[in-house]
Amino acid sequence: MTDMSAIDASMPKDPELKLTTPSRRRERAMSFGILLSILLIWTGLTNFGSIPAYVIPPPQSVFQWLIEGFRVPLSDASSLWYHTGVTMWEAFLGFVVGSALGIAMGFALAHWPVAERVLYPYVVAFQALPKVAIAPLLVVWFGFGLDAKVLIVVVMTFFPLLVNSIAGYHAVEEERIELARVCNASELQIFRHIILPSSMPFIFAGLHMAAVISLLAAIVGEFVGAKAGLGLLLLQYNNSMQMGGVFAVLLILGVLGFLLNYAMQKLEAWFSY
């Protein structure tokens, strides 16, 4: 049985650069200052400027929409909680499936160079197709339910993980793999102790992109055809010129995108630890 500790020790471990407490406080103060400046400018232009409410609603109107929407119980189909949950569930399922398929196929293609040279051009060609054009086809084939939206998310999150997994696999130094083979390590041990850890920075770079893309893809699917979700609300509010509702949904999407990125940062830090 091969002891992989010596091989693991040869792997470069970059120390995590941690900011000092004053630096973190300074950055947080700057971020809060930017947010406060945006709110002040927004309030000034919409309440005391010449911008009408049907173009850009005042902040108090947007916050009123949020309060009224989130005050409704989750079980009510008109609740913002309900529509947010639908969109997040679609994004989550598609993100998990698309990321898993992208990582698995990326490693498989990188492991077999012939398969990579033969199949990769077709994958790139499929990725070049506009997803807005593919979304209506998926809705026609799978209906207005959950399946079509999840498939749209899968299609849009698959490619970043595929490309980054291939790049991570090829970034592994061949000398380390040869050293492991000299030590009689199995292919599974080489993958687990060398290839996978070395590829994690590339994979997480793809996951960061895919996490945000999954949310956008769910909205695209709901634009095409949906019975619930933030994308459906966005269309309804926009068609009825309810700009307060439109900006409320956009604000929710912005917060969700921030939370997804924050969650991926924490997950990456946990794996690195």
pLDDT band at 101 (very low <50, low <70, confident <90, very high): very high
pLDDT band at 107 (very low <50, low <70, confident <90, very high): very high
102 has a pLDDT exceeding 50: yes
99 has a pLDDT exceeding 50: yes
pLDDT band at 14 (very low <50, low <70, confident <90, very high): very low
Task: Summarize the confidence of residues 58-82 as an average pLDDT.
Answer: 88
pLDDT digits over 220-238, tens only? 988 887 888 999 999 999 9
**Cα separation values, 88 from 121, 136, 214, 215, Å:** 32, 20, 9, 7
45 has a pLDDT exceeding 90: no
Question: What's the confidence (pLDDT) of residue 39?
Answer: 87
Q: Which token pair is 56?
A: 């850009």
- Dihedral class, residue 82 (left if φ above 0, else alpha if ψ from -120 to 50, else beta): alpha
Alpha-helical (H) ranges within the chain are 5-9, 21-47, 59-71, 80-111, 113-128, 131-142, 146-170, 174-182, 187-190, 196-224, 230-239, 243-272
Question: What's the confidence (pLDDT) of residue 135?
Answer: 80
Task: Summarize the confidence of residues 84-93 as an average pLDDT.
Answer: 94
Q: Lowest-pLDDT range, 10-14, 55-59, 144-148?
A: 10-14
Check residues 53 and 196 and name the one with the higher pLDDT: 196
pLDDT digits over 149-182, tens only? 899 999 999 999 999 999 999 988 888 888 888 8
Question: What's the confidence (pLDDT) of residue 1?
Answer: 46
Question: What's the confidence (pLDDT) of residue 203?
Answer: 93
Q: What are the chain's domains?
A: 78-272 (1.10.3720.10)
Q: What is the CA radius of gyration of the chain?
A: 23
Contact 144/225 with Cβ under 8 angstroms?
A: yes
Q: Report the chain's mean pLDDT, rounded to a whole number.
A: 85
Cβ neighbours of residue 224 under 8 Å, at least 6 residues apart? 135, 136, 139, 148
The CB density around residue 187, as the number of other CB atoms within 10 Å, is 12
250 has a pLDDT exceeding 90: yes
Task: Return phi, psi of residue 53, to 5°.
Answer: -65, -25
What is the DSSP secondary structure assignment for residue 130, as one 8-state letter?
Answer: -
